[in-house]
Amino acid sequence: MKVSLVKALLSQRCPTCREGKMFKTSSFNLHFMEMNEKCPHCQIMLEPEPGFYQGAMYVGYAFSVGIVVTVSLLVMILGIDSPWVSIGIVSLITLLLVPFNFRYSRVLFLYMFGGLRYRE
Ligand SMILES: [Zn+2]
């Protein structure tokens, strides 16, 4: 069965088979950072080289900037005047989105620079 690229990326699947999960637990688990070393479905290495995911920090940084800007605009639109309340809301939402930021930055980095191609 052919799985689309977008669906595989959003469901954090292996870029090669688009079936195996890249992470061991759900995003809502405290161990959200633990990745599978190999794809549980096709056994391909999910870390192409040691330290590969250090580059994902740049993707995560871009995601963080996007989150902070979006939430700040929403806070402004809602008319919240107090700077401390605004900073608190932006910080809280950014912190709550850390698991998604962490995971999707790694998934996107692997899909873009991992050199893994889809094989049915
Ligand atoms: Zn796989």
Cα distances (angstroms) measured from residue 90 to each of 77, 85, 98: 13, 9, 13
Q: How far away, in angstroms, is 119 Cα from ligand 1 center?
A: 9
Residue 119 lies in a domain: no
Closest CA to 44 of 26, 7, 17, 6: 17
Residue 118 lies in a domain: no
H or E element, residue 77: helix 56-77
Q: How far away, in angstroms, is 9 Cα from ligand 1 center?
A: 12
Q: How many independent structural domains does the chain possess?
A: 1
Which amino acid is it at 71?
Answer: V
Residue 120 lies in a domain: no
For residue 46, give every residue at least 6 positions away whose Cβ sits within 8 Å of its Cβ, in sequence order, or none: 14, 22, 35, 36, 37, 38, 39, 110
Residue-wise pLDDT tens digits, 23-45? 999 989 999 999 999 999 999 99
Q: What's the pTM?
A: 0.90
Q: How far away, in angstroms, is 117 Cα from ligand 1 center?
A: 10
Q: How far away, in angstroms, is 20 Cα from ligand 1 center?
A: 5
Q: How far away, in angstroms, is 60 Cα from ligand 1 center?
A: 23
Q: How far away, in angstroms, is 72 Cα from ligand 1 center?
A: 38
Alpha-carbon gap, residue 46 to 28, rounded angstroms: 21
Residue 91 lies in a domain: yes
Q: How far away, in angstroms, is 25 Cα from ligand 1 center?
A: 16
The whole domain housing 98 covers 5-113
Residue-wise pLDDT tens digits, 39-93? 999 999 999 999 999 999 999 999 999 999 999 999 999 999 899 999 999 999 9
Q: How far away, in angstroms, is 38 Cα from ligand 1 center?
A: 8
Q: Are 16 and 1 in contact (CB under 8 A)?
A: no
